[in-house]
Amino acid sequence: MHAEAFKFVRRALSELDQTGWAVLEIGSRDVNGTVRGLFNGRSYLGMDVAPGPGAELVADAATWDPEVARVAGYQGPRMFHAIVCCEVLEHADTAEAIVRNACRLLHPLGVFLMTCAGPGRAPHSAVDGGQLRPGEFYRNVTPDEFRAWASGFTGVFVDTLGPDLRALCVR
C-alpha cells in the first residue's frame, strides 16, 4: 500500500469514534503494507481471495455472507461497524459486487473506507505491485463509476488525489 492510501485512512479514522467497532478489511493480505495497526485493539477480520500474512479468512468479498459462513464454523461478527478496502477494486472484475456487499455487511451508520487506482495510475500487479502477469485483471476506477456502485449508501464522499481514488461511505 502506498503512503497516500495509508494517510487517507488514518485521517478518516481520526474523525471517527471507534469505540466497540468490529472491523472487516477486504483485501487484507499484506503485499506492501497494511492499515491494520490503525484499528489497534478493535475486533478485526482480514479477508482476502488468497492466503497470506494478514488474511484470517480466505473468501470472495463480492459474495461472502457471514450467515452462510456460520454453517462452516465462522464465529465472528454478522455485521461490521467499519469495512476498509485499500488498493483492491482495480484488481477485481467484481468490484461493483464487492462495494454492494460491503454496504450490506455494515451496521446502520457504519463506514466503508476505500482507496483504489483512479484515472491515470499505471497498471500494477495485485501479487507484488510489479508488472501485470498474464491473465491478471486490472482497470482504473473513475469517480462516477464508484459513485454508481455505492448507490446503496446514504452518504458517499469521493475524491481524487493525483491518480488515487478515495471514498468514505456511510450506510
Average pLDDT of the chain is 94
pLDDT in tens, 115-169: 999 999 999 998 888 999 999 999 999 999 999 999 999 999 999 999 999 999 9
Distance between CA atoms of residues 131 and 111, nearest Å: 32
What pLDDT, on the 0 to 100 scale, is given for residue 44? 94
Residue 49's SS3 state is coil
Q: Which of 66, 91, 111, 85 has its CA nearest to residue 28? A: 85
Please, which contacts does 141-150 make with residues 24 or more away whose CB atoms are closer than 8 Å? 141/89, 141/90, 141/95, 141/116, 141/117, 141/165, 142/118, 143/118, 146/89, 146/99, 146/114, 146/116, 148/96, 149/95, 149/96, 149/99, 149/100, 150/99, 150/103, 150/112
Neighbour order of strands in the sheet with 80-86: 57-58, 43-48, 22-26, 80-86, 106-117, 164-170, 155-161
The reported pLDDT for the residue numbered 41 is 67
Q: What would the pLDDT profile of 97-117 be if each residue is shown by its tens digit?
A: 999 999 999 999 999 999 999
**Counts for the chain of helices (H) and strands (E), in that order:** 4, 7
Share of the chain above pLDDT 90, in %: 83
Q: How many CA atoms lie within 13 A of 144 on its CB side?
A: 0
Which residues on neighbouring strands pair with residue 147, listed in sequence order?
none
pTM above 0.85, yes or no: yes
* Number of domains forming the structure of the chain: 1
* CATH classification of the domain holding 36: 3.40.50.150
Which residues span the domain enclosing 92?
Answer: 3-170
